[in-house]
Amino acid sequence: MAVKTGLRDSAMTRFLWTWRSYMASEDAEEGPTMRIYKVFRAAEWAELERAGETAGSLDDQRDGFIHFSTKDQLGGTLAKHFQGEHGLILAAVETEGLHDRDLKWEAAANGKDYPHLYRPLSLDDVVWHHEIPREGVDTMGLGDE
């Protein structure tokens, strides 16, 4: 039975369908490998596509590593660092493809461990990417996952 959202065929609906399908899949389980997520502004994503790798955003470059979030941290990351922004790209990366020496789990100011990548991110590292629809950043319901 299909759920009517009033957003049929919209970019937000397609994004949420992909997100929910992924979350319901076995791939979503955390185990020896898991997916971590990077939120890009449109210009940052375009530069990654052009160059094939990136040192991340200006904040990433300032901090000396590329900031990632787990699926449970993503809502908080969007709310804290991207509130009201549009044209964002969500990129998924498998931790299995990253060496332990490059990927470190470190405590943030809130006391939670976040994944930090200490090398440039290659376009080849990205498993999938989707534009987060304009409605999605403010209303997609990832909030406190």
Structure confidence at residue 58 (pLDDT): 96
Q: What is the pLDDT of residues 40-90, one digit of tens each?
A: 999 999 999 999 999 999 999 999 999 999 988 988 898 899 988 888 999
**23 in any annotated domain:** no
How would you class 13 by CB atoms within 10 Å of its CB: exposed for 0-12, middle for 13-18, buried for 19 or more?
Answer: middle
**Is residue 13 situated within a structural domain?**
no
Q: In which domain, by residue range, is 40 found?
A: 34-136
Q: What is the pTM of this model?
A: 0.73
Going by pLDDT thresholds of 50, 70 and 90, the confidence category of residue 18 is low
Residue 11 lies in a domain: no
Closest CA to 129 of 44, 5, 61: 44
Query: How many independent structural domains does the chain possess?
Result: 1
Q: What is the tens place of the pLDDT at every residue in 103-142?
A: 999 999 889 999 999 999 999 999 999 998 766 544 444 3
Q: Where are the beta strands (DSSP E) in the chain?
A: 35-40, 53-54, 66-67, 88-94, 103-107, 113-117, 121-122, 126-132
In a domain? residue 92? yes
CATH classification at residue 113: 3.20.170.20
